[in-house]
Structure 1
Amino acid sequence: MSIFWRRGSSLQQQEKEQPELQSESKVNELKGTLGPLSGRSLLYCSDACLRRYLEARNWNVEKAKKMLEETLAWRSSYKPEEIRWHEVAVEGETGKLFRANFHDRAGRTVLILKPGLQNTTSMDNQIKHLVYLMENAMLNLPEGQEEMVWLIDFTGWSFTTNVPVRTAKDTINILQDHYPQRLAVAFLYAPPRIFQAFWKIVKIFMDPKTVQKVKFVYPKNKESVELMRSYFDMDNLPAEFGGKATMKYDHEDFSRLMAQDDVKAAKFWGFDQKTGGYAAASAAVAPEPSKPISITAS
């Protein structure tokens, strides 16, 4: 067996490196089965991307390939990278879904959802809004981070503001099938008892791994409080989620931030070169925000 150990390397080092080598081997194998890629598909299929699809399919190359090819077909048709803020801005007027200006203790991007602030009836546009913010959050992930955290505030939620089961299923399918390994954990903060009935239905459509990432949190429950403390700095966490900060969503400031991010997205995907100055035109109407989304210690 000694022939398999590199001279000068300890057993512990070899054991640590072995999974990494296997991972790299699987990524290369998947890359080979996909064949030559070009354009946006090539840009999308980074090594990190391939690794996420492999992880989602338990490192089965054929299953990962099928999943990734379905995503590439969906992206070619839906064109999520082409969605711009002005197309979905009406969905964000009440602050029902936005990217927070703080991270969790691991440095991950945080998306805040407030389903009780639902303000529209177009299910297609609601999904488009979510997809836009997923793409936006991915472009704003700190270096070395692949996943994000969801904080869901159920204040004001009721069955009248809830999305239909069919829409929930379609949304879950998009997130699971086309954004694998992007969710680190989702905190459902103080959901009302009647939500349990809805949850029992929708979790049927969810991958068991995803279900395990969903945490029900209750402010008077000691374990829930400790769980939130383990993930967040309480000084940064808004009071709605048991923290010490106050948060006020400013739609105008957030819109300015999204307009700037649209320029970033255009540059990343190469639209600024192909559309004759799209980025420059967008920059002209995207001044620096006067202030970030207001979150201050109370």
Structure 2
Amino acid sequence: MLEGSLIRRMSCKPEEIIREHVAEEAETGKIYRSNYKDKNVRVVLVLRPARQNSKSVNAQIKYLVHCMENTILNLPLDQEQMIWLIDFNGFNLSNISIKSTKETAFILQDQYLERLGLAILYNPPKFFEPFYKIVKLFLEPKTANKVKFVYADDPNTKIIVENLFFMDELESAFGGKVEESFDIKKYAEKMKEDDVKRIILNKGDTFLEPNTTLKSISHTEEKTTDTNCVTEVVEEKKLSEDPKSIASR
């Protein structure tokens, strides 16, 4: 399985997906990397399926992969896993997609293996429960065991969130004390910064600490601190890997 995963990863090159490729998918805040972590310093990826703004499963998965890559990029050096917080506020039957769910399960298990520490499904509606029975058919037992249902009116499940997070840092949508502050303009800048950091790291001649900002990058020969150059850097990387492209220039 690991060998097959590596081969597929090499062919699809998720590390080359940049903000410009998925900008429209990001607009509603349906998936984003939060500003807070759990008590184990795991980076949190927030998912809000009710904010789905695309009918293209390929585009949806491409954006999910981009978010996963950027989350991994920002993991602490001693941490290999992330947390998913899935907010079901506003979720209805029209948001259910077997194909999208199946593709998400495949990508998660095939490409990211042990990256998921826990997936918390917060306040899923009753009609989601029979749907999840179908979803479990796509999940390996180890992955399924990481999925936890949490309900705001159930103290027995709320304790899962309370044990994982500092409530004064957590969003109110998940029982915390902080109001959601997703701003697409600010998040777009964060995405651009992550793109630049990842491209620099992929060149293999620079070490960056997690959460490095563009202002702290002093490796001047890269000339990529201007985030508008990200696309050009990716294209240059592709050309350098394709002798035919170079010959035709």
- For normalisation by structure 2, the TM-score amounts to 0.82
2:189 corresponds, among 237, 241, 256, to: 256
C-alpha deviations, 1:172-224, integer Å up to 9, x for none?
11110110111111110000001112101011110111111100000111112
The residue type paired with residue 282 of structure 1 is T
1:229 corresponds, among 162, 180, 183, to: 162
Q: Which residue of 2 aligns with 1:111?
A: 45
Structure 2: distance between partners of 1:201 and 1:213: 16
Change (3 A) 1:111 1:121: same
Aligned residues of 1:271 and 1:278 also touching (Cα < 8 A): no
Structure with higher Rg: it is 1
C-alpha deviations, 1:214-266, integer Å up to 9, x for none?
00000111112222110000001111001111112100000001101111000
C-alpha deviations, 1:133-190, integer Å up to 9, x for none?
111100100120000000000011112122x212211221111011011111111000
The residue type paired with residue 248 of structure 1 is S
Q: Which residue of 2 aligns with 1:220?
A: 153
Q: CA deviation at 1:281?
A: 4.4
Q: CA deviation at 1:103?
A: 0.2
Structure 2 residue 99 is matched with structure 1 residue 166: yes
Structure 2 residue 21 is matched with structure 1 residue 87: yes
Structure 2: distance between partners of 1:255 and 1:176: 27
Q: CA deviation at 1:68?
A: 2.2
Once the two structures are superposed, the pairs formed by residues 1-298 of structure 1 within 5 Å of their partners are: 67-162=1-96, 164-270=97-203, 279-282=224-227
Structure 1: distance between partners of 2:45 and 2:104: 16
C-alpha deviations, 1:19-48, integer Å up to 9, x for none?
xxxxxxxxxxxxxxxxxxxxxxxxxxxxxx
Structure 2: distance between partners of 1:278 and 1:202: 45
Structure 1 stretch displaced more, 190-199 or 264-273: 264-273
Structure 1: distance between partners of 2:113 and 2:60: 20
The residue type paired with residue 69 of structure 2 is E
Report the secondary structure of 1:151's partner residue: strand
Structure 2: distance between partners of 1:147 and 1:224: 22
- Structure 2 portions without partners, runs of 5+: 207-220, 231-249
Structure 1: distance between partners of 2:101 and 2:78: 30
Q: CA deviation at 1:272?
A: 9.4
Report the secondary structure of 2:44's partner residue: strand
Aligned residues of 1:71 and 1:177 also touching (Cα < 8 A): yes
- Structure 1 portions without partners, runs of 5+: 1-66, 286-298
Q: Which residue of 2 aligns with 1:38?
A: none
Q: Which residue of 2 aligns with 1:13?
A: none
Change (3 A) 1:69 1:278: farther
Q: Which residue of 1 aligns with 2:242?
A: none
Aligned residues of 2:200 and 2:222 also touching (Cα < 8 A): no
Identity %: 44
Q: CA deviation at 1:279?
A: 2.3
Aligned residues of 2:83 and 2:118 also touching (Cα < 8 A): yes
RMSD of aligned alpha carbons: 1.9
Structure 1: distance between partners of 2:225 and 2:117: 35
Structure 1 stretch displaced more, 68-77 or 117-126: 68-77
Structure 1: distance between partners of 2:85 and 2:149: 11
Change (3 A) 1:111 1:214: same
- For normalisation by structure 1, the TM-score amounts to 0.69
